[in-house]
Amino acid sequence: MTLPTNLNSLGFAKPPSETRVVVAMSGGVDSSVVAAMLKDEGYDVVGVTLQLYDHGAALAKKGACCAGQDIHDARRVAELMGFPHYVLDYENTFREAVIDEFADAYLAGATPVPCIRCNERVKFKDLLETAKDLDADCMATGHYIQRMQGPAKAELHAAADGNRDQSYFLFSTKQDQLDFLRFPLGHLPSKAETRALAAKYGLAVADKPDSQDICFVPNGNYAAVIEKLRPGAADPGEIVDMEGTVLGAHRGVIHYTIGQRRGLGIGGLGDPLYVVKLDPDAKRVIVGPKEALSTRTIPLREINWLGDAPLTSQPEWHVTVRVRSTRPPRPAIIRPISETEAEVELLTPEEGVSPGQACVFYDPDSTRIFGGGWIWKGK
């Protein structure tokens, strides 16, 4: 099949003016630039902002997205550039699909990544369906990731700027979603280019700070949010070593994460001790030496596979994987168990691999992302 050569910048064989694109606008500089840039190129742009939680409570909170000030900022961009803008109330959906699971995962001793679930269950599911209802040809976002047309299908690739790459948070994007999505910023060499474009279009958000925290967790205080959502979650218990010897007391399992060293309150015991396991049922925090954190084998479930051949079509896949968003990809072998389950062997052990985190697969020979899965129990 020969692809048409007269494609517009979004990959459609028609003029931009006849191409409708819904832009998911968080109110930040990235999505604002996407909307302004596409409008400037002549596309039929429709801006949509999701209200994800009580913006009255969040209005004074800086460094978050999808709340009061951000809705206002997105609307101002739409007014300046002259395209329609809608605000959709997704509070109930967000609470059920993201916040409740976040709380339950923490209570189960996991370390969840709610931003991935938000992309998977809200932005790239419900919002994407809304875009289709609006007769859009595609939906564009401000994420730093690239969609490239491969020989077989649309492929997901890491952003050109490795410091901004958001592939860890987008591994669960399904193939049919990828077919409909566009990421116009993924090829930019740096965030400075994005801010320069915002200034060029005269956007008031050109100097707006990036969001840092999880949007519904003020000041990064996870425990306070979980105590509010699940009263009684912060029951105290024992800190024990790997043989079960009681070393001290803690103020609630939800205050601890795998790999934590500081703030344990059990100093003066010789070599440094780290949290190696959480046992919420027994209300115990288990600590041990640093080497006890090393993991070589990682069980995964809920795998989203974006390779050309099925995951189970071969017994092993040699890839690189990322087990934390802040860590570089490391060589590994995927051994499929089913289409959605696998065991990953790290060729070099990693420390602090935690249930609830994602393990994302990369092609070792290119920038392509092969999907990933959820880490669900430690060895």
- Active-site residues, by number, are 118, 215
Q: What is the pLDDT of residues 309-363, one digit of tens each?
A: 999 999 999 999 999 888 899 999 999 999 999 999 999 999 888 899 999 999 9
pLDDT at position 56: 47
Provide the 3-class DSSP secondary structure of residue 179.
helix
Q: How far is CA 179 from CA 80, 99, 150, 229, in A?
A: 30, 28, 12, 37
**Does 309 map to a domain?**
yes
Give the residue-averaged pLDDT of 45-65. Answer: 67
Expressed as residue numbers, the domain containing 367 is 294-375
- For the chain, the domain total comes to 3
pLDDT band at 302 (very low <50, low <70, confident <90, very high): very high
Q: What is the pLDDT of residues 125-179, one digit of tens each?
A: 999 999 999 999 999 999 999 999 999 999 999 999 999 999 999 999 999 999 9
- 245: domain CATH number is 2.30.30.280
Residues 80 and 22 in one domain: yes
- Identify the domain boundary among 219, 249, 268: 219
* Confidence check: pLDDT of 10 > 90: yes
pLDDT at position 59: 40
- Identify the domain boundary among 288, 308, 332: 288
- Give the residues across from 241 on adjacent strands: none
pLDDT at position 67: 54
φ, ψ of residue 149 in degrees (nearest 5): -85, 110
Lowest mean pLDDT among 29-38, 64-73, 90-99, 168-177: 64-73
- Distance in angstroms (rounded) separating the CA atoms of residues 24 and 131: 9
Give the residue-averaged pLDDT of 180-207. Answer: 95
Q: How far is CA 38 from CA 34, 226, 242, in A?
A: 6, 40, 57
Round the average pLDDT of the chain to a whole number and report it: 90
Q: How many residues does the chain have?
A: 379
Residues 178 and 258 in one domain: no
Buried/exposed 233-268: b ≥16 CB within 10 Å, e otherwise: bbeebbbbbeeeeebeebebbbbbbbbbeeebeeee
Residues 153 and 281 in one domain: no
Kindly tell me the burial class for residue 345, based on how many C-beta atoms sit within 10 Å of its own C-beta (0-12, 13-18, 19 or more). middle
Residues 88 and 190 in one domain: yes
- Identify the domain boundary among 219, 242, 260: 219
Residues 110 and 53 in one domain: yes
